[in-house]
Structure 1
Amino acid sequence: MNKIAVVRCMMSLSLMAASTAFAATTSAEAPLKATAGNKVTGTVSFDQSADSLRVKARIEGLTPGLHGFHIHEKGDCSAPDGTSAGGHFNPSATAHGDPAKAAHHGGDFGNLNANDKGVAELDVKVPLTQVNLTDGNAANAVGRAVIVHAAPDDMVTQPTGNSGARLACGVIAAK
């Protein structure tokens, strides 16, 4: 093999390695486990496309009605009450609010609505500027926690929405 061919081969291998090292995660999942004294479980999945992040959740064991649902800043569910997950994920340093309006935390997803069997489902698409799965991006949710709360998010109270106790916690991990 001549020198030019060797250099081209090495450059190709370097480019392939670099593109693999910086490949974006396109899907992640957070299996939810009940906090102490609760029976809430479920799964939250995240699928990233070129322009949005699809968030799908199925949660069971809830009381019927509304329950706050947020991404929290730390991927730590070790505390019996879920407080080790910290506060709401807020990469843009904005006020807590309604996810249907412009100003809100990246981790604000509003409320889940549990039916009479205690099951809540969610299927939303959010802009990648709010939350994403991209390594090195401030809005990257991988390694953070999802929390389901006992009370509805009032979309107003700072910085939490007055959502009450944490019923379930799960760490978001790349798939």
Structure 2
Amino acid sequence: MTIGSRRKQTMVHGLLLLSAVTLAGCAGMGKKSVTKLPVPDAYADLVDARGADRGRIDVFKEGSGLRIELVARGFAAGTYGMHVHTTGQCDGPKFTTAGPHWNPTGAQHGRENPMGAHHGDLPNLVVEPDTIGRATLHLVGTRLTGDGAVLDADGAAFMIHAGPDDMKTDPSGNSGDRIACGVIMTAPAG
């Protein structure tokens, strides 16, 4: 064997060893980078009057109540009222089958109303230009199921309205038409 062929053989072995080490490292990285997302306790797929996908909410039970994670798609830049409604129905085009805001205590509407607020009153959704609407909402002191809970015998719906909620006008905050709705359903055990 000549010196040139020994160098060539050594280089080939070195490249093979380097390739094996690189592949082993990549295989280990794949296992470490997998993150399992938490499974929601409930969810709602949001649709508009035509039935087009407008986003989703995921509902998680927490010690203080419920946390809602919202992703809203296809909305122009602007401010939109959001509420939990009393009935788990979203029949278009106006979504009136969802009933009024969820209000188990008989309060008036609005987070700024001294006589309010409904349990279903939520902050406004603000969508910036060229973005997807996102929000994290908290329903403190609220249960998902059981007595006085969101998901009672006739369920509940999540609603997005055409305009901002003024946070004080009873019964709906002057938030305008109902433009996206989703029936809140318990998530399958995963």
Question: Into which bin does the TM-score normalised by the smaller protein fall?
Answer: 0.7 to 0.9
AA in 1 matched with 2:97: S
Matching of residue 34 in structure 1 with residue 45 in structure 2: no
Counterpart of 2:145 in structure 1 is 134
Counterpart of 1:171 in structure 2 is 183
Give % identity.
34
Normalised TM-score (structure 1): 0.75
Counterpart of 2:96 in structure 1 is 83
Note the 1:3-14 alignment, pairs <5 A.
none
| Inter-partner Cα distance in structure 2 for 1:83 and 1:114 | 24
Distance 1:60 1:94, change over 3 A: same
Give the match's secondary structure for 1:84. Answer: helix
AA in 1 matched with 2:148: A
From 74, 82, 103, the equivalent of 1:69 is 82
Gap regions ≥5 residues in structure 1? 1-25
Give the match's secondary structure for 1:32. Answer: strand
Asked if structure 2 preserves the Cα contact closer than 8 Å seen for 1:96 and 1:159, the reply is: yes
**Aligned structure 1 segments of 4 or more residues deviating by more than 3 angstroms:** 99-103
Normalised TM-score (structure 2): 0.70
Asked if structure 2 preserves the Cα contact closer than 8 Å seen for 1:61 and 1:118, the reply is: no
AA in 2 matched with 1:35: A
AA in 1 matched with 2:107: T
Asked if structure 2 preserves the Cα contact closer than 8 Å seen for 1:70 and 1:107, the reply is: yes
Q: What root-mean-square deviation, in Å, do the aligned CA atoms of Structure 1 and Structure 2 show?
A: 2.3
AA in 2 matched with 1:133: L
Distance 1:96 1:68, change over 3 A: same
Asked if structure 2 preserves the Cα contact closer than 8 Å seen for 1:74 and 1:86, the reply is: yes
Q: Larger helix proportion, structure 1 or 2?
A: 2
Asked if structure 1 preserves the Cα contact closer than 8 Å seen for 2:122 and 2:137, the reply is: no
Distance 1:55 1:101, change over 3 A: farther
Determine which structure has greater relative contact order: mean sequence separation of CA pairs < 8 Å that are 6+ residues apart, divided by chain length.
Answer: 1
Gap regions ≥5 residues in structure 2? 1-39
Give the match's secondary structure for 2:97. Answer: helix
Q: When the two structures are aligned, how many residues end up with a matched partner? A: 146
| Inter-partner Cα distance in structure 2 for 1:111 and 1:42 | 16
Q: Larger strand proportion, structure 1 or 2?
A: 1
